[in-house]
Chain A
Amino acid sequence: MSPQSATDDTAASLRLARGGNATAFADLVRMNQASVYSIGYRMLGRRDAAEDLAQEVFLQLYRKLASIESLEHLGFWLRRVAANLAIDWLRRATYSATQPLDAAAEPADPRAEGDPLMTRALARLLGELAPAARAVMVLRYQEDRDVAEIAAALDMPVNTVKSHIKRSLTALRGKMIGAQLVTAEGLSEESP
């Protein structure tokens, strides 16, 4: 399926879902579940928690569907709600911020390139960041959103987003060196 026809299908599903079509809503869930579930998983570190969160996000979407204006809005809305809900849950200590990721939870990704040990370690180290910083990093590097959109989604100033990215990258680099995953020479430091 070409990207354009996939987009047209999603737009049609959105239109139908807003009209009350359950099948169309299920299509929207299927099309967006990976993004929402992954945000939950990266934030909360547990598959069961990620599924609970993703389900809650889609239930909220079902209630708020009439306010979704476009596909872009849908994507933004889902990321915003998922990230903020995850931050809320972490702060309520329902899911501890330092809770380690499920040991065997990371599914094998056939598309994965590079060092799987490094990949797993980085994902684990991300779980040690504070909730808001973690959300910024997930939206940046998993969802590939720009700084302005992250700021809007998380209701924080752009400069705060930039600070989180810079501080988090520095912290992650330090932890990777400390864990001897890389050497300091292997990670050349350039000024931003």
Chain B
Amino acid sequence: MLRMLGNFFSGNRKFIPLMSTALLALVAYGIGAYFFVGMRNPQVFFNLFRNTSYLLISGIGMTFVILTGGIDLSVSGVVALTTVASAVLLRDGWNAWVVVLLMLAMGMALGATMGSFITYMKVQPFIATLAGMWFARGMCFFISDDAVTIDNPVFQILGKTKILIPGLKELADQQGTPAPYISIPVIVAFILLGIAIYIAHYTRFGRTVYAIGGNEGRNEQSARLMGLPVNRTKMLVYTFNGFCSALAGLSFSLFVSSGHGLYAPGLELEVIASVVMGGTMLTGGSGYVFGTFFGVLVLAVTQALIQFIGSLSSWWTKIVIGILTLTFIGVQTVLANRKSGKTTQNTQELMAVRRRQQRLALGIGLLVILAGVAIFSVFKFRSGSSNQAEADTQCVVAPFREDEAANLVKNGAVIVYHRTAGPQCVDELFAIYPDGRITGSDGIKKVEKQIAPEEVEQLLTAISVDHQWFTNEIYSTYLNPCRQCFAHYIDISYNGQAKSATGVDGTTAMPPGYAFALAEIRPLLPEINPAP
């Protein structure tokens, strides 16, 4: 039995990273479902796909690039540029489908440009694509400084259509729960995945891609000598990734239904991490497009777990992803060295090196497992001691009441301040009027009080002049608030100018000026829930 298992593993060694990723995703989800009742909800499972459709789309393109031994760091820039450009074009009344086609063409053009620098000018891939990212991000701000909302009906339909799952709908109807659903971008991502698997494994182009990558660029030379169209293939791969980035950008803008140049920071790192976790070698030449799917799934489960645990802030995602990436790269390196060790002569020295590497890999693996256990036990301890974990998972973050805020502004309020989320799931809305009247509620009790009108004037000048509320320094940030952080919405009108912006604290995602403005407003409202 054991031997069979051993034979199976050594025979399918190339599948080990892929299988371990799939297993990791399943186990992580299983652990989550065991500890958190909310995670057993089928909708939470389908949300894993819904929230990461853009990641999967972009991961597919990245897999091809990495297979050729290159890398593309421009993903997040192109995604942000797509959101901004499409939002602005739609605002100017362009046809939605024309915009979609234009965006895809733009992505391909950007990809092709970077590809030509890499292929023909021999610029290192990461430099060329880094420049590409800068360029794309910079262009966003030439197009628009502020976030532009998308209210085009076609985009709304594309983004908000719920596609019910055939078998589960009836089941949900029987139980009287809302039927779980996925969205159109998810379907698009899966179609793209299917096409990409076909291209990678069943076409001449796909085989050329595999032939180019690996062995520190030496395979590229071999491929060239074999007469494979290396240059054309590389160009096509970068163009395809540009296409994928633009498609991911469109899917992202459907997801957040707005466009801004600061969206998706560090997305390329998440994409690369999921490709690596999917078992694709960063040196190229070996890996599976399907593996990327599992890599994205691991990422999605990690994010979901961290959200459900609640006492952990969102930056833990970054750390966990970093650790996972390192582990997978470590395993890859060891596997690669084993492979190369077999082909060369089997001297004792080589064996020693191999043994050392095995020990190193084992050590790292143990360390990671230990760290995981330690972190997990810390949660257990924490959540056990506070007894709040169960209540936290039931809490739903209230959406911003923007319409209500707009009404208050219409009625003469100069500052409208809305705060939601946090450990107690507060939902506070306050309005400050020029005559010093402050009204509002903290979700439990109503508060009404009076301050001096001069104080309001002081506040307004402080926020708009000192902290430059009406400049580009203040912008809305998009971020899923964790349970511990607060999401703020501030609407300020002063001297004929009006601007509202949202921000999330707890992580430092809000612009600095926003935090200062917050610090000016908060002391006026000592009655309401203090920060935890």
On whether the two chains bind one another, the answer is: no
Binding site for A on B (CB under 8 A): none
Please list the residues of chain A having a beta carbon within 8 angstroms of any beta carbon in chain B.
Answer: none
